[in-house]
């Protein structure tokens, strides 16, 4: 074997060695989905985005997770709107699809505050249909509520270190 081939082989063995403990830790935490993820949508109706942090908690069923999240909907324009909501959800995994069905629990804040009664009467749960992206730890798919938009989920790297 050439020196380059030895180097590549050593790197590959190192990657397998490093990946194995992570896989074991992942199983101890309740599977690959368990834990904290960030998410963000593409623009909704050309002026709003939805983002937040979602935590998936294993249940006694291997394909079902309880989840909770805080969402932030920001709408730009002459009259900007900033809505923060606390929601709970159920995530059902049917590999590779993950269906996240939510329930609005309570508002965290609405700005401008004069919109709060209107928002509370009409805010619909934020639901998602996503798939695990092969070769990465991302989830990609669709956000759907009163509108639809592309959404991306990714691990919060700060929580993994």
Query: CB burial class (10 A; 0-12, 13-18, 19+) of residue 45?
Result: exposed
Q: Are 42 and 149 in contact (CB under 8 A)?
A: yes
Reduce the DSSP state of residue 98 to 3 states and report it.
strand
Q: Are 83 and 119 in contact (CB under 8 A)?
A: yes
Per-residue pLDDT of the chain (161 residues; tens, 9 = 90+): 444 334 333 333 333 333 333 433 443 446 889 999 999 999 999 899 999 999 999 999 989 999 999 999 999 988 899 999 999 999 999 988 999 999 999 999 999 999 999 998 999 999 999 999 887 789 999 999 999 999 999 997 654 44
For residue 105, give the nearest of 128, 89, 127 by alpha carbon: 89
């Amino acid at each position: 074997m050439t020196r380059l081939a030895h180097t590549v082989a050593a790197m590959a063995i190192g990657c397998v060695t490093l990946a194995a403990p992570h896989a074991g830790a992942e199983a101890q935490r309740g599977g690959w989905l368990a834990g904290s993820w960030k998410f963000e949508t593409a623009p909704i109706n050309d002026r709003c985005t939805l983002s937040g942090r979602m935590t998936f908690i294993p249940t006694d069923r291997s394909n079902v997770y309880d989840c909770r999240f805080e969402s932030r909907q920001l709408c730009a324009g002459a009259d900007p709107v900033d809505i923060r909501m606390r929601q709970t959800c159920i995530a059902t995994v049917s590999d590779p699809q993950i269906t996240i069905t939510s329930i609005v629990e309570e508002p965290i804040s609405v700005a401008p505050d004069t919109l709060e009664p209107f928002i509370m009467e009409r805010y619909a749960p934020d639901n998602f249909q996503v798939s695990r992206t092969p070769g990465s730890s991302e989830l990609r798919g669709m956000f759907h509520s009163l509108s639809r938009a592309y959404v991306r989920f990714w691990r919060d790297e700060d929580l993994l270190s």
